[in-house]
Amino acid sequence: MENSIIDEKIINDLLPQKFGKAGKIWVALLTVVCLIGLFAYYRQIRYGLVVTAMRDYVSWGIYISNFVFFVAISLVGSLITAIFRLAGVKWGSPLTRIAEIIAVAAIIFASLIIIVDMGSPERFYNLFTHGRIQSPIIWDVIVITTYFFISLLLLYYPLLPDIKILLRYKEKSGNRMHKFYSYIGSFWKGTPEQFKLSEKAINILCVTIIPVAFTIHTVTSWLFATTYRPGWDSTNFGAYFIAGAFLVGSGAVVVAMYVFRKAYHLEKYITENHFEKMGRVVVLLSLLYLYFNMNEFLTPFFKMKKSEEGYLNGLFSGDFATVFWFAILIGMIIPIIILLFKSGRKPLPMFIVGVMVIVGAWFKRYLIVTPTLLHPFLPMHDAPASYHHYFPSWEEWAITMGSLAGALLIITILARVFPIIPIQETLTEEHEKAI
Amino acid sequence: MENNSRRDFLLTGLITAGLVSGCTPKTDPFEAGASDIAVPSGKKVKLLSVDGEEIEVDEAFLKPVPHMPPVSNTEARIGIPGKKFVMVIDLSRCKNLKKCQSACNHAHELNPGENWIKVDPMQDAEHTAPYWEPTTCMHCDEPPCVKVCPVDATFKRQDGIVLIDSDRCIGCRFCMAACPYSTRVFNWGEPEIAPAIAALPYSCETSVPQKKGTVGKCDFCADMTRMGELPHCVSACPNGVFAFGDLNEDSVSNGAETFRFSDLIKDKGGYRLMEDLGTKPSVYYLPPVSRNFPFESGLENDKVQNK
Ligand code: SF4
Ligand code: SF4
C-alpha cells in the first residue's frame, strides 16, 4: 500500500504536463523564428545562394558552422546514454531521456542544414543515384543516417515501459494523445520476456552507438582535414572535434536539466547532486578540449609556416582575434575556473556555465570554417571586392536561427509528449532503494 | 557589341547546323526549323552557307545551335583518346593585359565579376622582384576536387582534362574548399546570359550555359581541343604567354611559335605550382626571368572589379 502511494506520486510528478502560459509563449516564439527562417529559405531557393554573403572564397559559411555545431551537440546522446550505461554510472539515468531527445533533435537539423547549404537541393537524390564512396560527404551521409536511426531507437526502446504507464492515465493525456501512445506502444505488455529482449536491444544499441558516434565526428572533421587548406590540414582534427563535441553536448544537457527542472518542478528527481556530478564531467571535458586546442594551435604557431602565417595571425591578433579569444575564454577557461569551486557546481552557476559553453562552441565552429577560407594559398586579388570579406546576410542568420529554434521546438514537443525523466526506471530504482 | 556577338553566334550556329545535316541524311535545318511553330517574319538575313555561297533566310527560321555538335555526355566524360593536354605559362612575358581573361569570359558566357582565369601580382619573398601570374585550373593529375565530389559531377578524363557536369552538380562546394589553387567559381545566382544561350542544353565540353547553384571553372576549352584548335586564352594573348599542346606529341604552341615541350621546360627551368601538395598539375610555369615588360607596366590594368 505504502509503496503504491509513493508510486502514484512519482508518476504524477513525471507525467508529461500541458504547456502553461510560459510554455505557450515559448512555443509561439520558436514557431515564429522557424517561419522567418522558412521564408528566408524560400528566398534562397528562388534567387539562389546569392542571397547569402558567401562568395567564391568563403564558399562555406555559417550553415556549415551550424552543421558542425549540431553534429557536435548530438554526440551527447551517446555520451550520457551509452557510455554512462555501459560504465554502470547509475546517477545518470534521469538524464538519459533528456540527452537522447537533444541528440535526435540535433541530428535531424544537422541533416536539414546540409541540404539548406546545397546550391541545387532539388538534385539531392544524386547523392544516392551517383554517390561515390571516395567522397567524405558520402561517408557523412552514411554515418549520419545510421546515427539518426540508432538514436531514435535508443529514445524509443526505453520509452516503451513508460508508454504503458501513460496509457493507464487516459484522462490525463487526452484522447488524441492516448491514440498516439497506443499507436506507438500498445504492443508492449511489459512481460519479463519483453523486458529481457528490450534490455538486450538497448545494450546492443549502446555498444554500437559509441563507434558510430565517434565516426560521425571524425568524418565531419575529415570534411575539412582531407583538404589542403592551411588551418584544416591537421591530423589532430578528429580527436579535436570529438573532444569539443563531448563538451558542447554536456553543456546542452546541463542547460536542459536546469530548464526542465524549473519548468516542471522536478527538483526531487534532478537533484543538486546531479548538477554537482555533471559539473565534474564538464570540467573534465573542458580540460580535455583545451588540451586539444593547444595541440591544434601551438604546434603550427611555433613553426609559423608561410602558408599558415596569415591564418594564425588572423586568429590570434587579426580580424578574428576577438571571436577567437572570446570562444576560448567563454567556452573553456572561465567554465573551468567556475566549476573548480564547489559553489560553482550549484544549479544556477551550472546553467550559466552551460550557456557559456554552448555559445563559445558555436563561435568556435564559426572559427573552424571561415578564417581558413579567407586565407587561401594564392592571393585573393583578381576578384570583386565583396569576395574578400564575409559577414552572414540576414537570410543566413534567419535560416540559422530558424534551425536552432526548430531543434528547440522538437525538444520542447518531445518533452511535452513523453516523460522527460524515465518513469519506469525511477520506480524501479525507488523500489530497489526501499528493499 | 552585344548584338554583334549574338549575330556571330547565330551564324556559326547555322553553319554548323548545315554541317550536321550534311552528315545525317534526315532533313535540312530549315525544314527542321519550319516544322516548329515558326511563322515567317518577312525579315531576311544574309548568310554564308557551308559551300561559301551567300544565301537569304527568313529570320524566324534561325535557331541558335551551339557552335559545334555537342558530343554526348558519355563521350565528353571519356575525352580524346591518346592525348594528354598540357599548358605552359611563360611568366616572363606577362604584363597583366587580361586579354586571356576577357576572351575566356566571352567564350564561356561568364557572369560579370566571374573569372576562370585570374592574374595575380606575386612576390615570392620580401626582397625578390614582383611579377604577374595568370592562373587557370591546373587540371591536376591527382585532382583533390575530383576526389571530394560526392556525385561525380567533377571528373577527370583520360586526356587529362578535368571537367564539370553542371547537370549533375548538387552545389555542395566541397570541391571549392578542396582546390588549393582557388580556381573554382560558383554561380551564386541565376547567371546573366542571353535567354537563347541559357536555353541550350549544357555541355561539359563547352561549359555553356552556366547554371544557378552549380560550380564552374576553366575547362581547357575542351570543345576547341576536340577540333584541334587552341584554347581561347592562348590565341587571345598578344604576348604569347600561354602555350598549349599534347604531352604525348611533346609539342606546345602559343599560336605563333611551336615548342618542343620537354626542351622548353628543361631550358627555361619550368615548374608547377605547389608541387609539395602532390596534386600533379598539368599547367607548367616558366620563371619570370629576363622579362619582356617591367612589372609596373601591368599595374594600370590591375583595377579590381567591384560588383
Ligand atoms: S586546379 Fe583545382 S579545380 Fe583544377 S583540377 Fe586541380 S584541384 Fe581541381
Ligand atoms: S559543388 Fe558540384 S562539382 Fe563541386 S563537389 Fe559539389 S557536386 Fe561536385
Architecture of domain B73-305: 2-Layer Sandwich (3.30)
Q: How far is A133 from chain B (nearest CA, A)?
A: 7
Closest-lying ligand to the alpha carbon of B118?
Answer: 1
Closest-lying ligand to the alpha carbon of B280?
Answer: 1
Burial B56-91 (b: 16+ CB within 10 A, else e): ebbebbbbbbbbbebbebeebbebbeebbbbbbbbb
CATH of A2-428, one of 1.10.1740.10, 1.20.1630.10, 1.10.287.90, 1.10.287.130: 1.20.1630.10
- Domain chopping of chain B, boundaries: 2-61, 73-305
Give the contacts of B254 (CB within 8 A, at least 6 positions apart).
B230, B234, B237, B240, B241, B242, B243, B244
Q: Give the residue from chain B lying closest to A226, CA to CA.
A: B178
Cβ contacts of B189 on chain A, cutoff 8 Å: 47-50
Phi, psi of A376 (to 5 degrees): -75, 170
At B27 the pLDDT is 39
C-alpha grid cell, residue A56? 567564391
Residue A76: name the closest of A181, A147, A180 by CA: A147
Question: Which residue type is seen at B273?
Answer: L
Low pLDDT (below 50) residues in chain B: 1-35, 305-307
Is the pLDDT reported for residue A76 higher than 90?
no
The answer, for A224 touching chain B at a CB cutoff of 8 Å, is: yes
**Cα A408 versus chain centre, distance:** 10
At B29 the pLDDT is 40
Question: Burial level of A40, CB count in 10 A (0-12/13-18/19+)?
Answer: buried
Cβ contacts of A125 on chain B, cutoff 8 Å: none
In this prediction, residue A48 has a pLDDT band, given cuts at 50, 70 and 90, of very high
Scan for cell 538486450, then name that residue: A200
The answer, for B134 touching chain A at a CB cutoff of 8 Å, is: no
Task: Give how far Cα A226 sits from Cα of A232, A239, A253, A289, A324, Å.
Answer: 8, 15, 31, 22, 23
Q: Is B226 in the pocket of ligand 1 (CB under 6 A)?
A: no
| Selected residue of A46, A68, A123 to mutate for chain B interface (largest B Cβ count, 10 A) | A123
pLDDT tens string A378-394? 998 888 888 889 999 99
For A225, the enclosing helix (H) or strand (E) is: helix A192-225
3 state SS of B251: strand
Give the contacts of A30 (CB within 8 A, at least 6 positions apart).
A405, A406, A408, A409, A412
DSSP annotation string for A230-256: TTT--TTHHHHHHHHHHHHHHHHHHHH
The answer, for A305 touching chain B at a CB cutoff of 8 Å, is: no
Nearest CA to ligand 2 atom 4: B175
pLDDT tens string B55-71? 887 877 776 555 555 78
Contact, A63 vs A49, CB < 8 A? no
Cross-chain residue pair A126–B188, CB shorter than 8 Å: no
Question: Which residue type is seen at A192?
Answer: P
Q: How far is B12 from chain A (nearest CA, A)?
A: 32
- Domain chopping of chain A, boundaries: 2-428
> In the predicted model, what is the mean pLDDT of residues A100-112?
94
Cross-chain residue pair A223–B174, CB shorter than 8 Å: yes
Is the pLDDT reported for residue A364 higher than 80?
yes
The answer, for B307 touching chain A at a CB cutoff of 8 Å, is: yes
Q: Is B170 in the pocket of ligand 2 (CB under 6 A)?
A: yes
Closest-lying ligand to the alpha carbon of B171?
Answer: 2
- Distance from C-alpha of A202 to C-alpha of A217, rounded to nearest angstrom: 22
Q: What is the mean pLDDT of chain B?
A: 85
Is the pLDDT reported for residue A1 higher than 60?
no
Q: What is the mean pLDDT of chain A?
A: 91
- Please state the atom number of ligand 1 nearest to the C-alpha of residue B217: 3
ipTM of predicted complex:
0.89
Q: Is B179 in the pocket of ligand 1 (CB under 6 A)?
A: yes
C-alpha grid cell, residue B20? 550536321
3-state helix, strand, coil in chain A (%, to 5): 80, 0, 20
At A102 the pLDDT is 93
